[in-house]
Amino acid sequence: MKQILRYIFFFAFLATILFSCGGNKKQNEGQSMIEKKARQFARTEIKYDDSRLSERQKLVIEKLYRAAKIIDDIFLDQVYSKNREIKKTLENAQTDKDQWTRYYFNIMFGPFDRLDHNKPFYGTEPKPLGANFYPEDMTKEEFESWIKAHPEDEEAFRSEFTVIRRRGDALVAIPYSEYYKKELSQAAAYLKEAADYADNPSLKNYLITRAEAFLSNDYFESDMAWMDLKDHDIEVVIGPYEVYEDELFNYKASFECFLTLRDPEESEKLALFGSYLNDMEKGLPIPDQYKNFERGSESPIVVTNEIFSAGDTKAGVQTLAFNLPNDERVREAKGSKKVMLKNMHEAKFNKLLKPIAEIILDPEQLSLVTFDGFFNHTLMHEMSHGLGPGIITVKGRKTEVRRELKETYSKIEECKADVLGMYNNLFMIKKGVYPESFANEMWVTFLAGTFRSVRFGINEAHGAGNAVIYNYLLEKGAYEYDESAEKVKVNFDKIYPAVKELANKLLVIQAKGDYDGAKQLLADYAVESPSMAALRSKLTGLPVDIRPVFEIEKKYARAGL
């Protein structure tokens, strides 16, 4: 009975939030700061159409949803060692302020505000740079000193799939499969149950091999299996992937899940893009010696509609698309897969990008902000993650870009993907895929989108990358700020050479594994310049992002699942 009452109370509370956020009423003067933070996220229902699915496929979806809920719990622990304790305390919230705190805690996956440089909004303790992947009192120097004294530990210590802990005076690397054994065993069981109902052989194989990976800590075979998915309606990826949460080294991968349904018509339109990858690599504005032709030529592009997301991808700002896997061995063998989330694009374009553009852009360029400009840039951004240096040689030593750039890697990589997204969309115009008129739509829509991204926080990888681009292009005259009107516009004569120059800088930093160069570029340009601050200040009344209300979650909550 208590559980039933808890569900009733919880959904009544959410309904109250939905009602209060639905209008454009002036906010109460007495509104708490935490409520204002929560209202930065526009609640948006994310629906899905399963009418094309068989009853067996619907059971696959149910099992995968259950597995994804476990991913939420694992990621919560990865973010902060005290998160589970804090969540338990907040579940007993009584006051309005405490309820809003719980709501914001669930958005942020912890007590740290991802939109405000990870400052605590609950309690006073700062967020550890290494999240919960390392001992909170461990320094970079201690980590590196341990490896220097114990070279046999280096591979395990730098592995994406281990946590570092203390045992007496020693540091030890514990595989995820051991550290999260209880959770991963349960998730693996759900994946195997889903595989039992999966009639598509490639999906069945992926689910089985990924379940085995959860228990073995070896994700290579299942990543290869994910690349081999074909003729499938259900597009799902689940496991540890992105390293953004580890701000100490960018070594450790966070757990996440995307559960989606393929849009066959839209995917068919985009299938031809993958055939241009080699030509795009040839056209990169760097010396040939730095170009990467070793990655596999397979690069499937899939358009989907999101059913549910979990873990890292759901924390704070919502993902529009993803490009996986990150394992360079898989990329060399098969390339990578780009998955576009169409329903998330539609939600963000309507609720965020258009209102931002109306406030900050020169009125003469406002008509150039288009959904195609938004959607196609994201597509090329994801494709561009698969271009440029990956495995490199530094001082005769074979290594990876991510290892050499350390904590700067995510920001430099996201910046590179956005710059090359613009650069390579021009390539598609030259190939006749897009009309020439699309160039101006692309430039202006990206400029408007910059202010969607920097509002996430310049410390965040995407926000930092966009700050670098904005400030660099402003310095080169490619962006022009009218101080009296407080509006910004694109200089169409200067934009291309400036983008090409910045692309060269980013790619050479990656090719050389130039950690100091990466730090300097971020120090110079990943900042809130005066014009950026002035424009951002005009957007305070707009939501920063959406807060997805997943139809599937409400459906299974009603069913008691």
- Would the pTM of this model clear 0.85, i.e. be above it? no
Residue 170 has pLDDT above 50, yes or no: yes
How many domains does the structure of the chain reveal?
Answer: 1
Q: Is residue 488 part of a domain?
A: yes
Q: How many CB atoms lie within 10 A of CB 254?
A: 25
Lowest-pLDDT choice from 3-12, 426-435, 519-528: 3-12
Which of 402, 366, 385 lies closest to 510, judged by CA? Answer: 402
Q: Is residue 477 within 8 Å of 359, Cβ to Cβ?
A: no
For 367, how many CA atoms within 13 A lie in the half-sphere containing its CB? 2
Across the range 553-561, mean pLDDT stands at 76
Residue 19 has pLDDT above 70, yes or no: no
Q: Is residue 132 part of a domain?
A: no
| Unique residue bearing structure tokens 């795009």 | 280
Residue 296 has pLDDT above 80, yes or no: no
Helix (H) or strand (E) holding 175: strand 170-175
Q: Is residue 122 part of a domain?
A: no
Q: How far is it, in rounded angstroms, from Cα 145 to Cα 166?
A: 15
Phi, psi of 543 (to 5 degrees): -65, 150
pLDDT tens, 330-383?
Answer: 998 998 898 999 999 999 999 999 999 999 999 999 999 999 999 999 889 988
Q: Tell me what pLDDT residue 199 has.
A: 98
Q: Amino acid identity of 353?
A: L
> The CATH number of the domain where 327 resides is what?
3.30.540.30
Helix (H) or strand (E) holding 533: helix 530-537
Q: Amino acid identity of 396?
A: G
Q: Tell me what pLDDT residue 379 has.
A: 86
pLDDT band at residue 27 using 50, 70 and 90 as cut-offs: very low
Of the chain, the percentage scoring pLDDT greater than 70 comes to 93
Better-scored residue on pLDDT, 550 or 24 = 550
Q: Are strands 234-240 and 255-262 parallel, antiparallel or unpaired?
A: antiparallel
What sign has the CA pseudo-torsion 452, 456, 462, 468? positive
Q: Is residue 69 part of a domain?
A: no
Q: Cα torsion for 261, 265, 270, 272, to the nearest 10°? A: 120
User: Residue 558: which residues within 8 A CB-CB, separation 6 or more?
Assistant: none
Give the structural domain span for 197.
181-548
Residue 18 has pLDDT above 50, yes or no: no
Residue 268 has pLDDT above 80, yes or no: no
As a 3-state breakdown, the chain gives helix, strand, coil percent values, each rounded to 5, of 55, 15, 30
Go through the chain and tell me how many residues it has.
Answer: 561
Residue 14 has pLDDT above 90, yes or no: no
Q: Is residue 103 part of a domain?
A: no
Terminal Cα distance for the chain, rounded: 15
Q: Is residue 416 part of a domain?
A: yes
Residue 66 has pLDDT above 50, yes or no: yes
Q: Is residue 159 part of a domain?
A: no
Residue 190 has pLDDT above 50, yes or no: yes
| Unique residue bearing structure tokens 């195997």 | 192
pLDDT tens, 199-213?
Answer: 999 999 999 999 999
pLDDT tens, 461-509?
Answer: 889 999 999 999 999 999 999 999 999 999 999 999 999 999 999 999 9
Q: Tell me what pLDDT residue 559 has.
A: 64
Q: How far is it, in rounded angstroms, from Cα 235 to Cα 256?
A: 14
What the block records as the tokens of 147 is: 């490896």
pLDDT tens, 70-94?
Answer: 999 999 999 999 999 999 999 988 8
Q: Is residue 109 part of a domain?
A: no
Q: Are strands 391-394 and 479-482 parallel, antiparallel or unpaired?
A: unpaired
Residue 125 has pLDDT above 60, yes or no: yes
Of the chain, the percentage scoring pLDDT greater than 90 comes to 81
pLDDT band at residue 3 using 50, 70 and 90 as cut-offs: very low
pLDDT band at residue 556 using 50, 70 and 90 as cut-offs: confident
Q: How far is it, in rounded angstroms, from Cα 195 to Cα 56?
A: 10
pLDDT band at residue 10 using 50, 70 and 90 as cut-offs: very low
pLDDT band at residue 265 using 50, 70 and 90 as cut-offs: confident
Q: Is residue 515 within 8 Å of 287, Cβ to Cβ?
A: no
pLDDT tens, 300-334?
Answer: 889 999 999 999 999 999 999 898 999 989 998 99
pLDDT band at residue 386 using 50, 70 and 90 as cut-offs: confident
| Unique residue bearing structure tokens 């730090």 | 519
